[in-house]
Structures are given as structure tokens and as C-alpha cells.
């Protein structure tokens, strides 16, 4: 029994020696903190400027001129040239520039534009305005003639005009198919609707005179 105890003690002493030897090999030596940068020194990373503070790089200025950054130049818009000639219209205006180009801004009934063009382009627009005006005048005149012949022109809720042979049929058509009847138009009321289109025709004449047609 005494022999076994001695062997046990010897075995324990050997184990402790082995642990000490392993720890001596694997333990990392304590070294001083590695120096990354010198306190207060500067460095550029791209266009950004960094300063060394507490052994680390800290952003000091973004897009720094010291790092070669140049801000983009501001675009100064060119002033709009002044027209050399101008004329006001009933539904807009027309201008002429020294370049020879015309600028027409128009907002008539059923037609509008904002156009810079040559003389031929402006005259083409004038013809379109004229066509719109004449077409509407022709339509309203046709309705006036219906009334003068003893027929009725009625306005329904879902349709501006309805033309039928008799006033009863106009009213009936409105009630059944157009959401209800509003009233019958008179010749004078229809004539008043032509006024804007007559003004558009005057504008056409003014535009053509302006461009020298």
C-alpha cells in the first residue's frame, strides 16, 4: 500500500511537470501596443483628410482641398434673350428674336401651344388655329339653322347638344339616354358661343401680319 502511494505521488509530480512545460511553450509573450501612426500627423485617403489621434486615423475633413478636391463649377444660366418685336393676342402672344425665330404662346378654345419656330412653322400653327375656329363656328351655325327651321337643340346632362326633329323627341332622348334634360338652346345663346372663335380668327390675322404674311 505504501508502494502504491509513492507511485501515485510520483505520477502526480510528472503530470504537473508536463502541464508546466506545455504552458511555457504556448503562452504568448506580452508586447507593447503596435504604433499605427504618429500623433497629429495627416494623411489623405482619396479626397478625404485624416489625422492621427490616439494611435488611430480619424476623419478630419471630407472632400478636402489639401487632398486635391476641387468643387464642381456652378453653372450660370444664360440670360434669356430679349425679343426685338412683340405682339399681344387675344389668347396669348407672339415674339420675334434677333436670331429670326418666333416664339408663339397660345391658349385658345380647343387649341393651345408654346412653340419656338421659323416663319413657316408659325404660319402652320396659325392655319391650325383657323381650322379649329372655323370648324366650331360652322357647327354652331348648323345648330342655329335647326332652330330657325322650327326644330330644337337641347342640352342634356351627359351631352352638350342633342339635335332632333321635334322638341319632344329631344327632351325624351335626354331623359332616356343622356342623364336628364337641362334646357333648349336659343339662336342668341349659340351666337354668344361663337365669340371666342371669332377672336381666334382675329388672332390668326394678327399672327400672319406679325410674321409678314
State the pLDDT at residue 201: 97
Average pLDDT score over residue span 12-29: 50
Average pLDDT score over residue span 94-102: 95
Model confidence at 101: pLDDT above 60: yes
CA angle 107, 109, 111 (to 5 degrees): 60
Reported pTM = 0.62
User: Contact, 129 vs 106, CB < 8 A?
Assistant: yes
User: Contact, 151 vs 179, CB < 8 A?
Assistant: no
For residue 196, give Cα distances in angstroms to 188, 210, 213.
Answer: 15, 21, 23
Model confidence at 182: pLDDT above 50: yes
Q: pLDDT tens digits, residue range 135-159?
A: 999 999 999 999 999 999 999 999 9
Model confidence at 100: pLDDT above 50: yes
Model confidence at 29: pLDDT above 70: no
Whole-angstrom distance, CA of residue 199 vs CA of residue 108: 9
Amino acid at each position: 500500500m505504501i508502494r502504491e502511494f509513492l507511485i501515485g505521488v510520483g505520477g502526480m509530480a510528472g503530470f504537473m511537470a508536463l502541464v508546466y512545460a506545455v504552458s511555457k511553450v504556448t503562452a504568448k509573450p506580452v508586447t507593447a501596443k503596435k504604433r499605427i501612426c504618429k500623433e497629429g500627423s495627416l494623411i489623405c485617403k482619396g479626397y478625404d483628410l485624416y489625422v492621427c489621434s490616439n494611435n488611430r486615423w480619424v476623419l478630419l475633413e471630407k472632400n478636402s482641398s489639401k487632398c486635391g478636391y476641387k468643387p464642381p463649377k456652378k453653372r450660370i444660366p444664360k440670360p434669356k434673350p430679349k425679343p426685338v418685336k412683340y405682339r399681344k393676342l387675344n389668347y396669348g402672344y407672339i415674339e420675334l428674336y434677333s436670331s429670326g425665330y418666333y416664339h408663339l404662346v397660345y391658349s385658345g378654345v380647343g387649341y393651345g401651344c408654346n412653340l419656338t419656330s421659323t416663319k413657316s412653322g408659325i404660319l402652320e400653327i396659325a392655319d391650325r388655329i383657323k381650322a379649329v375656329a372655323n370648324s366650331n363656328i360652322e357647327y354652331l351655325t348648323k345648330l342655329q339653322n335647326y332652330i330657325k327651321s322650327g326644330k330644337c337643340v337641347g342640352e342634356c346632362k351627359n351631352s352638350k347638344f342633342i339635335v332632333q326633329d321635334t322638341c319632344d323627341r329631344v327632351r325624351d332622348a335626354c331623359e332616356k339616354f343622356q342623364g336628364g334634360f337641362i334646357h333648349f338652346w336659343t339662336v342668341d345663346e349659340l351666337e354668344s358661343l361663337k365669340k371666342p372663335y371669332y377672336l381666334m380668327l382675329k388672332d390668326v390675322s394678327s399672327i400672319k401680319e406679325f410674321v409678314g404674311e
